[in-house]
Amino acid sequence: MQKTVYQTDSNGLYLYESVANELSLSPGSFNIPFGAYLDAPPVAEVGSRPRREGDKWGLVEDHRDTFLWFAETGEQYTLGNVHTVDGVAVSYPGWGPLPAWLTDVPPQQSAQGAVAVS
């Protein structure tokens, strides 16, 4: 016998559907992988991703496929890179609300090729 399970990554973000097999020497018990859950995640809209939060599913913003820029300089940001903001080292993993120091609005190029930050 098998049960459907829903696998997450180390941050609790939903990855994929899988199966857990019944243990042959322990009928009624299943080998549920670490980070997998029996209850299905909610259907996510574009721009969000299911995330396990304690004993339930929630939805978080997903910017992992979005180009991001530093709000102050207009320089492009690479996910996971550490940046110093007001003397504090910060980083953004690509999911959850965008921090104030990042934007998904591309900087405008002036006629001379310089970046104009609005």
Q: Global pTM? A: 0.80
pLDDT tens digits for range 89-118: 999 999 999 999 999 999 986 455 555 555
Quickly state the pLDDT bin for 85 (edges 50, 70, 90): confident
Nearest to 6 by CA among 52, 33, 40: 40
Q: pLDDT by residue (tens digit) across 17-73?
A: 999 999 999 999 999 999 999 999 999 999 999 999 999 999 999 999 999 999 999
